[in-house]
């Protein structure tokens, strides 16, 4: 189970890097960020496939999307100066709370 979570964390980190490169690619007009985006997304999905060996797809995807949203929001703020208003931050907080609830309280997550 630990290797599934490590693979999932790698997948999330690669997806966040790929999404950051997507922003930097300026709609695919810059070749290096575009190439980095493709490599990160391919590697992210490979790592996600490894994670799915040890956990249900619903749990993996809930964690992937929840943590990905939180992390890319932070990257958007720090790297791209994209600020979020209070409703957006509250909504992201709910998403993060949902990820915690699924992992702490769900028997499905302990598959």
Domain ranges of the chain: 2-110
Average pLDDT of the chain? 93
pLDDT in tens, 63-85: 999 999 999 999 999 999 999 99
pLDDT at 36 over 90: yes
As a three-state string, the secondary structure of 14-62 is: HHHHHHHHHHHCCCCCCHHHHHHHHHHHHHHHHHHHHHCCCCCHHHHHH
* pTM to 2 decimal places: 0.88
């Amino acid at each position: 189970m630990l290797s599934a979570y490590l693979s999932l964390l790698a997948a999330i980190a690669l997806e966040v890097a790929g999404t950051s490169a997507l922003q930097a690619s300026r709609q695919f007009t810059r070749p290096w960020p575009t190439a980095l985006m493709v490599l990160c997304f391919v590697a992210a999905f490979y790592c996600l496939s490894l994670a799915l060996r040890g956990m249900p797809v619903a749990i993996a995807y809930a964690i992937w999307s929840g943590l990905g949203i939180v992390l890319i929001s932070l990257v958007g703020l720090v790297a791209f100066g994209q600020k979020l208003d209070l409703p957006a931050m509250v909504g992201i907080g709910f998403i993060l709370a949902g990820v915690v609830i699924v992992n702490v309280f769900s028997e499905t997550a302990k598959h």
